[in-house]
A and B are shown apart, each in its own frame.
Chain A
Amino acid sequence: MTRELDVKIKRGGDDGGYENFRVPQRENQTVLDVVTWIQREADPTLTYRFACRVGVCGSCAMTVNGRPRWTCRTHVSKVAGDGRLVIEPLENMPVIKDLATDMTGFFEKWQAARGRFEAAISRDDPLVPILPDSPERRAADAAIECINCAVCYSACDVVSWDQDYLGPAALNRAWAALNDVRDGDRAGLLRAVSGDAGCGNCHSHQSCAEHCPVEINPTRSIAGLKRASLVALLKGER
């Protein structure tokens, strides 16, 4: 095959410009393959982030032809039928250089949304039995496979309008934690997700669910947090 892809890549920082590359098209080629080819064969100064290449680590998300995607599992043939690719960094996070964004704020919001487990008992206590088909376990299951890729965060309009908003990934994680019956700080969690920057800001555009590569539905999780926070408010628990 001698056909070439017409690839436009955002270079530099937030005020950077675009650079064009011609990349040989192959039969089985992901967007990450294209970026890697450019760095190895055309311009070794191109900066991007990746690790596992198989859709597990969540490092390689970029904006591809205007949509946030996991580039290692996005086939060029599926997204660039006309042979044109525009590759940009994710939105809603500051750009470090080229295609690599600074995800610090994104991960800080996981902490702010109480995205960590708070143990109620110690390792000396007996294990808590959790039935696989209990409602809580099922709700947690639906939210738990997140790979922290920030595709939803990049797609979220509310984040783009309000930089403080915790965002779909962090709130989805909080919903999984809220449904973990072993978690010992339900009140603290609901406090963390229901403040000025919390779940009440979500307008249910569902862009997060639309673009999530592992088909999680953060809108659904956030709706659950809204209900739980509202019940807590009306019961005077917070």
Chain B
Amino acid sequence: MNMRLYFLQRASAAILALLVLIHLAVIIYAVQGGLSAEEILGRTRGNLGWGLFYGLFVVTVAIHGSIGLRGILAEWTRLGRRTVNGAAWATAALLLVWGLRAVLAVVGEGAA
């Protein structure tokens, strides 16, 4: 792994450490008394703060997860370098698109 990838991996890790800590705290708070769509969306809909939080979460996890998967494929499979890089890019794109779509869904005002 060259230094550019190394930097992206560790920088995203450092940001994710903080985001995941908050995410875990929210999870343990939210599950008290059971999960409901109403409760979750009541918290997130129209809230710019949560929108930015989850948006940053998706961007960093797309970077971090795809580089991590690239390492696993490179070290644990016989796939060639180009295939491995292609798979990493595809993973990043998928996580980014589906992730941002999910953020829009929970933060946007949406159809009730």
| Chain B interface SS verdict (over half) | helix
Q: Does A200 lie at the interface of the complex (its beta carbon under 8 Å from any beta carbon of B)?
A: yes
A72–B76 Cα gap in the complex (Å)?
Answer: 35
Residue interface mask B63-94, A partner, CB < 8 A = 1: 00000000000111000000000000000000
Q: Which residues of B contact A230 (CB under 8 A)?
A: 3, 6-7, 10
The residue of chain A having its C-beta at the shortest distance from the C-beta of B81 within the complex is A196
B1-57 residues with Cβ-Cβ distance < 8 A to A are: 1-7, 10
Q: Which residues of A contact B6 (CB under 8 A)?
A: 194, 200, 226, 229-230
Contact with B1, one of A200, A232, A234 (Cβ below 8 angstroms): A200
A215-238 residues with Cβ-Cβ distance < 8 A to B are: 226, 229-230, 232-234, 238
Given the known A-B contacts A230-B7, A233-B7, A234-B7, are A200 and B75 also in contact in the complex, defined by CB atoms under 8 Å? no
A162–B75 Cα gap in the complex (Å)?
Answer: 6
Enumerate chain B interface residues (CB-CB to A < 8 A): 1-7, 10, 74-76
The contact sample of 18 A-B pairs, CB cut-off 8 A, is A158-B75, A161-B75, A162-B74, A162-B75, A194-B6, A195-B2, A196-B1, A198-B2, A200-B5, A201-B1, A226-B6, A229-B6, A230-B7, A230-B10, A233-B3, A233-B4, A233-B7, A234-B7
The residue of chain A having its C-beta at the shortest distance from the C-beta of B9 within the complex is A200
